[in-house]
Chain A
Amino acid sequence: MTSVATPPTASTTAPAPAVEARGVHVHLGASHILRGVDLTVDRGDVVALLGANGSGKSTLVRTLVGVLPPSAGTVRVLGHPLGNAVPWGDVGYVPQRVSVGTTVPSTAAEVVASGLLHGRRLRLPRGWRARARAALDLVGLADRADDATSRLSGGQQQRVLIARALVREPELLVLDEPVAGVDRPSQEAFAATMRRLVGEGLTVLVVLHELGELAPLVTRAVVLRHGRVVHDGAPPRPHGGHDAVGHDHVHPHEPEPFADERGLAHGPITGRPGTEARP
């Protein structure tokens, strides 16, 4: 059913790729969301996962971190098949932000500290407070550690979720739309943090709607359309086509005035087609 194409940047000498997905199909209810996705993320790569709403970007990353079970295909994370074998302490995941504030209040430090638990580690290690504060410092929120998350702005709440993924010092960071609806200072703080961590060798798989601030860091772009990979290679060149005739502008505009200041990746993608799957 699936013709496996070799990803362009696959290396043969390095340790197992950070992420290796082969022929992944995912069904949610009656809908067939992913239709045979192959994806390899090598160590040290910064891969942007692009595509229109409904193309399956979020479904793919949620499958890769074990939230959704694939109905067919295999997924290996850091060299291990999904499940208890994966060293989850080396994987940081930033889900799409829903409202962080629950009915019971929780401080930013408490939320970040929950990132220290993984696999069979069910209790906080010694010194968790200092580690949570250090992670919050990475995203520029050290002074808000003891504030209720419900008192933070949307962008600050998103940064708390990023700190929660970073607190365990992951080798692989998976982010789902980390800058969607995020205020400008939070976007800049996020980009600065990512520059530093990528410089230290962090592997990143990030779902983005537009490359934006992260464009200089991205080493590869994978584009999904209708649950299939239609491009896997060089990141698309920034293109000022956001307001062009026929541009399918589907995401809701957030109340942030400067979001479109930089060149944004919404132009036609000219890279060669990567993997194709036929139903």
Chain B
Amino acid sequence: MTLFEELGYMLGDPLMRRALLAALLVGVSAPVVGTYLVQRRLSLLGDGIGHVALTGVALGWMIGAATGLAPNDALAIPGAVVAAIAGSVLIEVVRRRGRTSGDLALAIMFYGGIAGGVLLIGLAGGSSGNLMAYLFGSISTVTTTDLLLTVVLCAVILLVGLGLRAALFSVSHDEEFATASGLPVWALNMAVAVVAALTVTVAMRVVGLLLVSALMIVPVAVGQLVTHSFRRTMLVASLVGVSVCLVGLSLTYWQDVSPGATIVVLAIGVYAAVALLRPLFARRRPAGDPHPDIPDDVEVAGRTPAGARASAAAGSDEECVG
């Protein structure tokens, strides 16, 4: 059988089609939000939200079981959405209060989220085994309803993340300047927090709560290796996100391995490969004076000012060409 026939079979499978579409949407949107988180030095925020979302899953499950809903986990995803938003808003509030305690608050949330989830699922009559699908992803069981929810949430994420890019960049880059410009800094920070929470809940399906953050952060790490602008970092991150999601998921069609883990390992592989290969392609730094417009302060024996100037001029030419 040829590769194309195999791909044809894969795309003919409605289950796989839904899964691929969900992976595509999550692959595009997670790195968009991740770019803001990395810029604000909140790379681990996604993990914090993910852990809290687990409590939300268990809470939804518990309410579903208590009210006798048909599938026990009908309220699991709504529960995760509510808990994730509450958690990320709380983290944002703590961050504003003072920088030192933000780290600690995040840590407490990590542990509280996991412990709360396991405890509540037990009280609901389930076992921690029921949580595995949420912890490590369950993209193979994406239903049409799930897909619809993913489309709507991803649309919101992209609308905010791309539509408000300049304002979110300003706030993430220099909050003091944004405040002094009269921008609605509080609302913009909350927008990032809520969008991050939504991202965690949609990505939960694809890679699982424990690996959500990797999908938001690792593509950004790749992007910042190869570009020097914010806009392009976001673009490259999204492209890497989509590629690893689609390729990783497709691989699991033939190899029975966890899609979430495959996707994350692929992303880290791309990062490692780019980091290793970058020196071969990076434009060479000029050998001369990196600041040709600044006069040298001291004369050093064996290096005449004229020589220094000449090499500096050569260096700046090279820079312009590259």
Contacts and interface: CB of A to CB of B under 8 A. Distances in A.
Interface of A: 62, 65-67, 84, 86, 88, 91, 93, 95, 102-107, 110-111, 113-120, 122-124, 146-148, 150-151, 153, 155, 161, 164, 174, 183-185, 255-258
B166 A104 contact: no
A185 B294 contact: yes
Contacts of A256: 297
The secondary-structure label for the interface of chain B is helix
A67 B291 contact: no
A105 B169 contact: no
B303 interface: no
Given A103-B41, A123-B167, A66 B182 contact: yes
Given A67-B180, A115-B181, A146-B229, 12 more contacts: A65-B180, A66-B179, A91-B180, A91-B181, A95-B174, A102-B41, A105-B228, A107-B229, A110-B231, A114-B166, A115-B177, A147-B228
A67 B176 contact: yes
A147 B41 CA distance: 22
Contacts of B173: 102, 106, 111, 114
B275 interface: no
Nearest to A147: B228
Contacts of A183: 291, 294
Contact of A117 (B163, B183, B228): B183
Nearest to B237: A104
B293 interface: yes
The secondary-structure label for the interface of chain A is loop
A114 B182 contact: no
B170 interface: yes
Interface string B278-313: 000000000000110111011000000000000000
Contacts, number: 117
A184 B39 contact: no
Contacts of A148: 228-229
B229 A119 contact: no
B230 interface: yes
- Which of A107, A116, A117, A258 has most chain B Cβ within 10 Å? A117
Given A107-B230, A147-B228, A151-B228, A86 B182 contact: yes
A221 B105 CA distance: 45
A93 B180 contact: yes
B180 A104 contact: no
A93 B166 contact: no
A187 to B, nearest CB: 11
Given A110-B229, A185-B294, A103 B224 contact: yes
Interface string B166-200: 11011011101111111110001000000000000
Contacts of A164: 177
Given A104-B233, A148-B229, A119 B181 contact: yes
A118 B35 contact: no
A136 B183 CA distance: 22
21 contacts: A66-B182, A67-B180, A95-B180, A103-B224, A104-B39, A110-B229, A110-B231, A115-B181, A116-B166, A117-B183, A118-B181, A119-B182, A122-B166, A122-B183, A123-B163, A123-B164, A153-B290, A153-B294, A155-B294, A257-B298, A258-B297
